[in-house]
Amino acid sequence: MSAVTIDSTRCKGCELCCRVCPQGVLRVAKQINTKGYFPAEVGDGTLCMGCCMCAVVCPDVAIEVRVHGVHYDFLGQ
Amino acid sequence: MTGGEVVFSRPESLRRTPTHYCPGCTHGTAHRLVAEVLDELGIRERTVGVAPVGCAVFAYNYFNCDFLEAAHGRAPAFATGVKRVRPELIVFTYQGDGDLASIGLAEILHAANRGEKFTVVFVNNAIYGMTGGQMAPTTLPGQVTTTCPGGRDVEQVGYPLRVAELLATLRTPGYIARGSLHGPEAIVASKRLVRRAFEHQVAGTCFGLVELLSTCPTNWGLTPMAACQWVVDRMIPYYPLGELKRPESATGQVAS
Ligand SMILES: Cc1ncc(C[n+]2csc(CCOP(=O)(O)OP(=O)(O)O)c2C)c(N)n1
Ligand code: SF4
Ligand code: SF4
Ligand code: SF4
C-alpha cells in the first residue's frame, strides 16, 4: 500500500496534482485553508499506487509520498 | 499510514519557507529540480546561487545554500566573479526571460562566450511576470500582454528570441539544453538536463545553460492547468525541447 499526504497549509489549490493523478486519488477540499485557497485533499487513499506524479508536478512541494509493499490494483476503480 | 519508505519529500537544499509564487506557477517546480540536483550531487554546502530581478527575486529565501542577489540581468557577472575567485565552489544563476534575454542579454552572451564555468537556470515564461505581464523578448507572436494588447506584432518588434539556440552557435564549448515544466514527464526530463549541466560544472568542463519553459498563469490570464496546456500548444512548437549543444561539439554546430 502507498500513501500520499498533502500539507494543506502549504497547498495553493492549483489542482495540478488532481489533474495528473492516474488513480483519481486527489480532489479539491470543500474548506479553505489559512491562505484562503481550496487545497487538494486525498479522496480514496487506498487507490494510491505511489507513482509520485502528483508530487513531481506540485510547485509548492506540499506532497509527500510513502510506499509500503506493492500496490496491484492499478487503475482499478 | 505512517510506515513504509518515503519515496518523495522535500529536498534538503530547499528550505521549508513557503514561496510567494502564485498558485500553479512552475517557478516552484524549477526551484525543486535544482534543489534535488544539489542534493543528489552532494554539492549543497559548496554551492552559491545568484538570484535575479523578477518573480524569483526572493530565491535566496528558498534555497538552503549561499546566495547573492544581482542587479537586473547581471547575475552572470556576479557568477563570473565568484567562480573565478573561488573555482572550487559550484555557482549557478537563476534568471527569468526578462532578466536574461532583455536587460541582461549582453551579460549572458559574453559569459557563455568566455566559457565561464558556472550553470545558468533560465526560466522562460514568455512574459515579464513580476512587473505585471509586459512583453518580453520571448513573448510569442500574437501573444497578448499589457504592452502589446493587440498581440505581439512581429512586423513591429521582431520575432521572439531563442536564447538557447543563439548561445548554441558559439564556438566556445558549452552545454545548452531546453526542457519544460508543464507536466510530470517533461519535469523528469528537465531534471536530467539540469543535472547534466551541474555535472559539467562539477567536472570543470564548461559553461552550462538549461532553459526551462515555465508557466505564468497570473499574467497569461489562464488557470494553472490551462497554462500548462498553453506551454504544450504554443511554446514548445516555437521553443523545441532537447539538448542543443554538448561540450564535444566545440565548433558551434548544433548537436543532434
Ligand atoms: C534596472 C531595472 N529595470 C527594470 C526593472 C523592472 N523589472 C523588474 S522585474 C522585470 C522583468 C521580470 O521578468 P522576468 O525576468 O521574465 O521574470 P519573471 O518575473 O517573469 O519570473 C523588470 C523589467 C528593475 N527592477 N530594474
Ligand atoms: S502517488 Fe500517484 S497514485 Fe498516489 S496520489 Fe500521487 S499521483 Fe495519485
Ligand atoms: S499541486 Fe501542490 S499546491 Fe497544487 S493543488 Fe496539488 S498539493 Fe496543492
Ligand atoms: S506573476 Fe507569473 S511568474 Fe510571477 S509568481 Fe505569478 S505566475 Fe509566477
Q: What is the CATH number of the domain that holds B92?
A: 3.40.50.970
A69 is written with which cell numbers? 509493499
Say yes or no: CB of residue A42 within 6 Å of ligand 2: no
Please report whether residue B73 resides in a domain: yes
Please report whether residue B21 resides in a domain: no
State which of B99, B135, B216 you would mutate to test the pocket of ligand 1, scoring each by most atoms of that ligand within 8 A of its C-beta.
Answer: B99
Q: Give pLDDT tens digits for B85-98.
A: 999 999 999 999 99
Please judge whether B24 and A66 are an interchain contact, meaning their C-beta atoms are less than 8 angstroms apart: no
Q: How far apart are CA B173 and CA B31, in angstroms?
A: 26
Number of domains in chain B: 1
pLDDT at B157: 97
ipTM: 0.94
Domain that holds residue B152: 27-249
B67 is written with which cell numbers? 546566495
Please report whether residue B6 resides in a domain: no
Please report whether residue B103 resides in a domain: yes
Structural domains in chain A plus CATH codes: 2-72 (3.30.70.20)
Q: Give pLDDT tens digits for B35-57.
A: 999 999 999 999 999 999 999 99
Three-class secondary structure of residue B242 per DSSP: strand
CB < 8 Å to A61, chain B: 10, 14, 28, 32
Three-class secondary structure of residue A9 per DSSP: coil
Model's pTM, two decimal places? 0.96
Q: Give pLDDT tens digits for A8-42.
A: 999 999 999 999 999 999 999 999 999 999 999 99
Please report whether residue B10 resides in a domain: no
Q: How many CA atoms lie within 13 A of A67 on its CB side?
A: 10
Please report whether residue B168 resides in a domain: yes
Say yes or no: CB of residue A40 within 6 Å of ligand 3: yes
Contacts of B188 (CB under 8 A, 6+ apart): A56
Q: How confident is the model at residue A2 (pLDDT cuts 50, 70, 90)?
A: confident
Please report whether residue B48 resides in a domain: yes
